[in-house]
């Protein structure tokens, strides 16, 4: 990574304005945090800043407020949890930029932590308004972007403010870019990627870019159906995207022309309804009856995919193999997760995308992976080969 990080600058006595990703899930009834992964992921950067003599001003969005204050999306629960994790007070104020915010930030001493209110309560945030960027810049001496999960957004707190302060990456941002960027640019081979999820249209650009880099690409999830449709299979009531069939054909031809292995399911778990208690069967992908739909990859496909992964040295996985939220259709995703866990000492394994991350965490296998990405959309855009605005704005080394 050719961007400066917090390791490259003097922090003693500085106010570090830090964009973190505290967009955590909340229980609708109680407002309590149901998964604090993103808060815990930010702790190493915050601790580093404090240990090197800085005070810290934190800013994050949470949810999708309608560009105004929403009491259900205030960052108070985040502040309470962060205080527990840091073992020191975290001051929280109910504003992002204001005379109060400026006065509070300027009164901080080294070792103090201030949490600003939800950045998206200000309608200027998502417009990347220069006025808001300047207001934010007055709260710090240096800007640190540690919000990889929001780095694909050119917002005032993720991109705009970087033009008004010395701007560097935090430790989480550095780790994400090193893992995903390193795998894409300098993979140890064989390099295998696994792409799943519902729709090919969501990941066409990802697949196109990966086919220029990988040795093998394994396709699962609903998107595999469109590839199978492109090969002439009748798929009953399975989810397909007829408008993407030509693109699927083109990707298959592209893989063949360039000597890449594009692996598609050969069998499937089918159901007579999209429901957890539906009747199920295992069939070849060319014998899906009318009234039935593919909801997971089958046991033969699992064997083929595990064989393709067995010798891999670098693996990136983005997207489940089936409707893993329903136990009857979770085996394909579970088998892939276990296959990657079994590579623990033999390969670099990177999990990107919310559903894939949720799957390995549910299965208790997260600690067996080399890197778990905190950014769904940002991970996808990196896999597409795009430059992330929140990264591009940081200072080069």
Whole-number Å distance between alpha carbons of 275 and 271: 8
Nearest to 58 by CA among 73, 46, 40, 70: 46
For 313, half-sphere exposure in the C-beta direction (CA atoms, 13 angstrom radius) is 9
Longest Cα–Cα distance of the chain, Å, equals: 70
Residues annotated as part of the active site:
38, 199, 354, 377
Beta-bridged to residue 280, according to DSSP, are 271
- Report the DSSP beta bridge partners of residue 29: none
φ/ψ of residue 272, rounded to 5: -90, 5
- Cβ count near 381 (within 10 Å): 19
Q: Which residues of 332-354 are buried (b: 16+ CB within 10 A; e: fewer)?
A: bbbbbbebbbbbeeebbbbbbbb
253 CB neighbour count, 10 Å cutoff = 12
Beta bridge partners of 296: 269
- Cβ neighbors of 204 (< 8 A, separation 6 or more) are 244, 247, 251
């Amino acid at each position: 990574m050719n961007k400066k990080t917090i390791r490259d600058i003097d922090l003693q006595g500085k106010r570090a304005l830090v964009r973190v990703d505290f967009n955590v899930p909340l229980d609708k009834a109680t407002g309590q945090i149901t998964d604090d992964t993103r808060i815990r992921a930010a702790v190493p950067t915050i601790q580093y800043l404090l240990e090197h003599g800085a005070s810290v001003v934190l800013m994050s969005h949470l949810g999708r407020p309608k560009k105004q204050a929403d009491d259900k999306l205030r960052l108070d629960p985040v502040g309470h949890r962060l205080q527990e994790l840091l073992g020191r007070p975290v001051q929280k104020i109910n504003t992002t930029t204001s005379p109060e915010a400026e006065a509070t930030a300027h009164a901080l001493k080294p070792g103090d932590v201030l949490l600003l209110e939800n950045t998206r309560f200000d309608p200027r945030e998502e417009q990347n308004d220069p006025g808001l960027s300047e207001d934010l810049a007055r709260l710090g001496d240096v800007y640190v972007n540690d919000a990889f999960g929001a780095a694909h957004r050119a917002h005032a707190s993720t991109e705009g403010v970087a033009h008004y302060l010395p701007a560097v990456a935090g430790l989480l941002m550095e780790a994400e870019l090193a893992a995903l960027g390193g795998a894409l640019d300098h993979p140890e081979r064989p390099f295998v990627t696994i792409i799943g999820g519902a729709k090919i249209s969501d990941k066409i650009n990802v697949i196109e870019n990966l086919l220029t880099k990988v040795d093998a690409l394994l396709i699962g999830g609903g998107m595999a159906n469109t590839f199978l449709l492109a090969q002439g299979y009748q798929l009953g009531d399975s989810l397909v995207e007829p408008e993407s069939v030509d693109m699927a054909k083109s990707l298959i031809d592209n893989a063949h022309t360039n000597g890449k292995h594009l692996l598609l399911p050969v069998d499937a778990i089918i159901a007579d309804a999209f429901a957890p208690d539906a009747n199920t069967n295992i069939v070849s992908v060319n014998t899906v009856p009318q009234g039935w739909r593919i909801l997971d990859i089958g046991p033969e496909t699992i064997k083929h995919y595990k064989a393709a992964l067995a010798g891999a040295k670098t693996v990136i996985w983005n997207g489940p193999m089936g409707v893993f939220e329903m136990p009857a259709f979770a085996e394909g995703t579970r088998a892939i997760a276990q296959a990657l866990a079994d590579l623990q000492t033999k390969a670099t394994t990177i999990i990107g995308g919310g559903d894939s991350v949720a799957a390995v965490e549910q299965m208790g296998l997260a600690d067996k992976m080399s890197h778990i990405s905190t950014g769904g959309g940002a991970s996808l855009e990196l896999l597409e080969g795009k430059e992330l605005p929140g990264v591009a704005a940081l200072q080069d080394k």
